[in-house]
Amino acid sequence: MTLLLDSFWRAVAYCMHPRVIALSFLPLVIMVALSLGLGYFYWEPALDWVRVSLESSAWITRLWDWLEGVGVGKLKTVLAPLIVIFAITPVIVVLSLLFVAVLMTPALVALVAERRFPHLERKRGGSLAMSVLWSLGSTLLAVVALVISLPLWLVPPLILVLPPLIWGWLAYRVMTFDALAEHASKAERQEIFRRHRGWLLGMGVLSGYLGAAPSLVWASGALFAAAFVILVPLAIWIYTLVFAFSSLWFAHYGLAALEKLRAQAGVTAASPPEVLEPVGWRDESSPQRLADPPPPPPPPPPTPPRPFAQTKRWRKTGPPTPLRPEPDAVFGLIIIGDEILSGKRADKHLPKVIELLGARGLSVGWADYVGDSPARITATLARAFASGDTVFSCGGIGATPDDHTRQCAARALGIDLVLHPQGEALIRERMQDTAREQDTPYDPDRPDNIHRLNMGVFPVGAQIIPNPYNKIPGFSCAGPGGGAVHFVPGFPVMAWPMIEWVLDTHYPHLFRAGTWVEQSVIIFGAMEATLTPLMEAIERAHAEVKVFSLPSVDHPQYGRHIELGVKGDPARVAQAWPALLAGLQPFNLKLGPELVRSV
């Protein structure tokens, strides 16, 4: 009921919009020309045919005699025009509906989508050809129903019930389809029809009754004959405006229902979607807003987040499960931007992330560099979400045309983008801070300020990463494969504190500073192939340590050499290290200094 009433008052407000009023005259011009043309050629023949039919009926003749006996014989002169009017009214209604659907509805749906749902993905589940076929098929069924029900119209109560019901069914079918054609997929449209059929049909029936209102003007009999030229255009314009209102009503209802459907599909029961205030709220009816916008809400107080490494926070089905056992936790890094690959800028993120992880006893397991190609970014993120790893993604989360990361993340997860309420509050707070710094008034309706809200549009269910530099947040998402990806800007001054916050907030249970050691020795004059069997033997005997070799040909201190060692838990390294040294003795190699590194 809330959605029904909300969409109703919004449709009423939009009817006052100059664009809607202007659009309502386009079908009117066509319909007036058609009605006047038909009236000019067929009005008198239609009246003559009706009069002859009435006079040829014996029981109608007896009815006239009775009416004259009671003093209302003049009713005979207006009965034929009334019958013609009631007969053509359904045709006018049907044609008005078709003209509105073809000429106005797409424009009205676009208006609603532009102002209220600018970030709702367009899946284009209904083409223009499908819309036309759907409208024609529904109209044909409605016409058949009207023709079959004509005899029942002579029963006084039914003439007030049957036509509005038929018109309402037609409006519900045609306008719901057109409202969802551009944005919903076929499956989503069918689901909305299934879930909201009763409410949509009720909206259609009410629209049908509203569409029947002009008939009260037409039914004035003698007045109609005197004011035919005025009443026909007026009635048709009222019809058109009623159906324009209906189109807006269905557009607001349908797109809001679609947004809610997608939000429910993308979030688990443990993390229900919040109702968001759409970006386009600022111009709901006309250049004069219905009401001043409320002041931006303060950011909600932080709540202790659940560690990503303990739960798949946004899985669509099933209970939370561990991403991977703690000893096997892998951290990855994705760096996005053509400027890195072209050499225009040097990457600073990888060394810093290695430093940040190393200070916590962790390490980088892999790193990817990706240019500004949406297809490649989407594929890279899809692998990350499916990997079970913890991944940091740097760059591409802004709102310029070459920033694709937010959209690619949603595409990789198969979910929609929505304006995050906390993200919106933070961005609005930043805009107010900037206005104060520049000593200018804060205008939330200014186009550039509205555009900045795009930086808070994240995949459904995303979690905020605070930005201490300028408050514009990053976000975190988890995929069905267990991978958790944390998205931060490409600017190091913002990205690095945000990465530290993620590590210290979500992964402190993985820190192992002081519990990880590397012990190695410099070897001169050896070949890696010669040492490989020894390395394999050490790993078989000590499965919980890693054996590594790092060859160098031009080291400034040691020259050509191999650094051979083991790394892992200090107690395990203490057991493996003597075995490695003992295994080197048969080779009679020249050994350099031993090196120890703890984290």
Residue 228 predicted with pLDDT over 90: no
pLDDT at 561: 92
- Assign domain 308-510 one CATH number from 1.20.1250.20, 3.40.980.10, 1.10.132.20, 3.40.50.10470: 3.40.980.10
338 has pLDDT over 50: yes
Q: What is the mean pLDDT of residues 304-333?
A: 48
pLDDT of 513 above 80: no
Across 3-17, 111-125, 151-165, 178-192, least confident range: 151-165
**If DSSP codes are grouped into helix, strand and coil, which group holds residue 515?**
coil
Confidence tier at 281 by pLDDT (50, 70, 90): very low
Q: Does the pLDDT value for residue 592 go beyond 50?
A: yes
More confident residue, 220 or 536: 536
Closest Cα partner for 151 from 162, 141, 143? 162
Contact, 516 vs 598, CB < 8 A?
A: yes
Percentage of the chain beyond pLDDT 90 is 28
Q: Positive or negative, the Cα torsion across 239, 241, 242, 246?
A: positive
Q: Which of 98-107, 188-197, 313-322, 519-528 has the highest mean pLDDT?
A: 519-528
Least confident of 53-57, 205-209, 308-312, 409-413: 308-312
In angstroms, rounded to a whole number, what is the distance separating the alpha carbons of residues 582 and 528?
17
- Work out the average pLDDT over 64-79: 65
- Phi and psi angles of residue 14, each rounded to the nearest 5 degrees, phi first: -65, -25
In this predicted model, what pLDDT tens digit does every residue of 136-147 receive, in sequence order? 888 888 888 878
pLDDT value, residue 332: 96
3-state SS of the chain: helix, strand, coil percent to 5? 60, 10, 30
CA distance 599 to 597: 7
Cα–Cα dist 487/474, whole Å:
6
Q: Which of 271, 490, 513 minimizes the C-alpha distance to 392?
A: 490
Taking all residues of the chain, what is their mean pLDDT, rounded to a whole number?
Answer: 78
**β-sheet bridge partners, residue 547:** 566
Q: Which of 479, 318, 266, 487 is nearest to 386 (CA)?
A: 479
The whole-number average pLDDT for the span 83-107 is 67
- Structure-model confidence comparison of residues 17 and 236, the more confident one: 17
pLDDT value of residue 218: 52
Q: Given this model, what pLDDT does residue 103 score?
A: 67
Pairing of strands 546-555, 590-598: unpaired
Strands 457-459 and 463-465: unpaired
Q: Is the pLDDT of residue 151 over 60?
A: yes
**Domain-wise residue ranges, the chain:** 2-118+125-265, 308-510, 517-598
Q: For the whole prediction, is pTM greater than 0.85?
A: no
Residue 264 is predicted with a pLDDT of 63
Q: What is the mean pLDDT of residues 328-343?
A: 90
Between 118-127, 336-345, 396-405, the lowest mean confidence (pLDDT) is in 118-127
Q: Is the pLDDT of residue 51 over 80?
A: no
**Is residue 495 scored above 60 in pLDDT?**
yes
E-state strands within 438-516: 457-459, 463-465, 474-478, 484-488
CATH number of 517-598: 3.30.70.2860
Q: Using one digit for the tens of pLDDT, what is the confidence trace for 233-276? A: 666 677 777 777 888 888 889 888 888 887 665 433 333 333 33
Tokens at residue 22, please? 């202007």
What is the DSSP pairing of strand 559-568 with strand 517-524?
antiparallel
Q: Is the model's pLDDT at 304 over the cut of 50? A: no
Residue 388 has pLDDT above 60, yes or no: yes
- Residue predicted with more confidence, 509 or 350: 350
Chain CA centroid to CA 273, Å: 12
**Beta strands at 331-336 and 364-370: parallel, antiparallel or unpaired:** parallel
* Mean pLDDT score, 34-48: 76
